[in-house]
Amino acid sequence: MKILSGNPYIKRDNKKVLLDLIPIDEILNLSKTPIMIFLENRIRDNVNSFKSVFGEVFENFEGFYSFKANFLPEICKIICSQEIGAEIIGLPELKLALKIGFPENKILVGGPYLPYELIKESVKNKVREIIVYNLNDLDKINAVAKEKNIVQNICLRINSQKYASKLGIILDDKILLRLDEKTNKLHHINIVSILSHYTTQMNNMEQFKKNIITVGDALKKLTQIGINIKNINLGGGFPEATIMPQKQLRKLALGLKTTLENLHIDYEKIYFEPGRYFVGDAGLFITEVINIIDDRWIFLNIGNHICPKFARCSLRFYNATQIDKVHKYKTNIAGIIPSDQDVLAKDYFFTEKLKEGDVVIVTNVGAYTLTFSNRFPYALPHIFLIKDHDITPIFSPSINHDFTLN
Ligand SMILES: Cc1ncc(COP(=O)(O)O)c(C=O)c1O
């Protein structure tokens, strides 16, 4: 058996493709393409791998799954059962996290937009921390916490200083002065953590180091105004687990620890908020070639409406119908949106013969594809969850209509 896409749950045996223990033909009998598949065992392995690496390297590590990577309830339930916390940005996600059973003290809520209802529900439910991107939100949180007569723990999102990032607080003199005034005045908030999330798909140590340097600078400035931060949160940004296998992840974790030590950064707890690492390579599309034109252009029956560039996935394509044939002929792959911009890949190594109706597997699509998908008027795919020999429908367009959270 040969592993495809570096994923032990996608294999080929001569002419047959297996997803976990299920032959792809069995799946094709259940629904027409496009079909989306999630591999439960892969999610569990990724979470275990992350937890064991960071748990070994750091004594005081905690992980929070970034719901926005994939908020399908069945996916979040798997992660919840692995005893990981939740990092969420909005009320629909908060309701889902609580319903699924994430413990309140393992939920971080935060984002650039904190409507009153979200603050209210977060405070009421005693979430672990509210993450603030904008100082004005401190007053709003303080007011709600005062009503409930509690002190709410706060995490400050620091601007990672990457390019011209607009997200998070830049601790210049003016802002520090305002923060100092607020902390002296607002007695129902307690700033305990800072967060700096650098970017997505980080696969070299340098990017992670830059993030830590930002954190170190911020800690010094905050100490000067009497704010002593306990916990540091380095966000997410890890690539798909197939792109960063466990050995490399361990090297990275050790590098992070050394960088923190070299910069004399002390902390009680260190948090990470992976999204893509847990679910990215656990998702795949089963699609079909629906047209072939000159210059080896093939069209698949998915496109940027459901597999968007915005999702920044490390896409890999396999011709499942000709899986025994070498994939070494440059091919261009287009989607079905009637726009020349709908290109999924250019000069991708694929089979020599291109045939209409060939089944094509697109891997590494578990994170952010559904999140960034749009309302282009094509039907949504059927979504199945696979574990060992079991296949469970988790989304049917005709029954569930939409996967938006409300
Ligand atoms: C603050 C924060 N944490 C975590 C994540 C998750 O990132 P990733 O899925 O790349 O691990 C994001 C993604 O944008 C983020 O902004």
Report the SS3 class of residue 404.
coil
Mean pLDDT, residues 218-240 taken together: 97
Kindly report the pTM of this predicted structure. 0.98
The tens digit of pLDDT for each residue in 241-286 reads: 999 999 999 999 999 999 999 999 999 999 999 999 999 999 999 9
Residues whose CB is less than 8 angstroms from the CB of residue 266 and which lie 6 or more positions away in sequence, other chains included = none
Find out whether the beta carbon of 200 lies less than 6 Å from any atom of ligand 1. yes
The secondary structure of residue 60, as a DSSP letter, is T
**Residue range 2-40+280-400, CATH number:** 2.40.37.10
Find out whether the beta carbon of 236 lies less than 6 Å from any atom of ligand 1. yes
Find out whether the beta carbon of 275 lies less than 6 Å from any atom of ligand 1. yes
Find out whether the beta carbon of 387 lies less than 6 Å from any atom of ligand 1. no
pLDDT at 22 over 90: yes
For the chain, the domains span 2-40+280-400, 42-278
The DSSP element (H or E) to which 205 belongs, if any, is helix 205-224
Nearest atom in ligand 1 to 237's CA: 10
3-state secondary structure 63-115: EEEEHHHCCCHHHHHHHHCCCCEEEECCHHHHHHHHHHCCCHHHEEEEECCCC
How many contiguous H segments (helices) and E segments (strands) does the chain have? 11, 21
pLDDT band at residue 70 using 50, 70 and 90 as cut-offs: very high
Give all strands (DSSP E) within 240-296, no chain letters: 269-272, 283-293
Residue ID of nearest Cα to ligand 1 atom 7: 236
| pLDDT over 90, % of the chain | 97
Residue 124's pLDDT is what?
A: 98
User: Per DSSP, what are the bridge partners of residue 284?
Assistant: 37, 363
Type of residue numbered 307: C
Residue ID of nearest Cα to ligand 1 atom 12: 236
54 φ, ψ to 5°?
-70, -30
- Considering the chain, what is the average pLDDT of its residues? 97
Token couple for 256: 């992070």
| pLDDT over 70, % of the chain | 100
Type of residue numbered 364: N
Mean pLDDT, residues 184-197 taken together: 97
> Is the backbone peptide bond immediately before 34 cis, with ω within 30 degrees of 0?
yes
Q: Does 321 or 200 have the greater pLDDT score?
A: 321
Cα 272 to ligand 1 centre (Å): 9
pLDDT band at residue 311 using 50, 70 and 90 as cut-offs: very high
Residue 164's pLDDT is what?
A: 72
Find out whether the beta carbon of 240 lies less than 6 Å from any atom of ligand 1. no
pLDDT band at residue 309 using 50, 70 and 90 as cut-offs: very high
User: Per DSSP, what are the bridge partners of residue 236?
Assistant: none
Residue 203's pLDDT is what?
A: 87
What does the alpha-carbon distance between residue 70 and residue 73 come to, in Å, rounded to a whole number? 9
* 22 Rama class: left (phi>0) / alpha (psi -120 to 50) / beta: beta
Find out whether the beta carbon of 273 lies less than 6 Å from any atom of ligand 1. yes
The alpha-carbon radius of gyration of the chain (Å, integer) is: 23
Mean pLDDT, residues 226-237 taken together: 97
Find out whether the beta carbon of 63 lies less than 6 Å from any atom of ligand 1. no
Residue 188's pLDDT is what?
A: 98
Asked whether the beta carbons of 317 and 325 are under 8 A apart, the reply is no
Mean pLDDT, residues 289-302 taken together: 98
117 φ, ψ to 5°?
-60, -40
pLDDT at 163 over 70: no
Residue 297's pLDDT is what?
A: 98
pLDDT at 313 over 80: yes
The secondary structure of residue 169, as a DSSP letter, is B
The tens digit of pLDDT for each residue in 108-131 reads: 999 999 999 999 999 999 999 999
What does the alpha-carbon distance between residue 378 and residue 178 come to, in Å, rounded to a whole number? 49
Residue ID of nearest Cα to ligand 1 atom 5: 236
Nearest CA to 364 out of 327, 303, 316 is that of 316
Q: Which CATH class is domain 42-278?
A: alpha beta
What does the alpha-carbon distance between residue 164 and residue 152 come to, in Å, rounded to a whole number? 31
Residue 160's pLDDT is what?
A: 84
Mean pLDDT, residues 322-334 taken together: 98
58 φ, ψ to 5°?
-115, 130
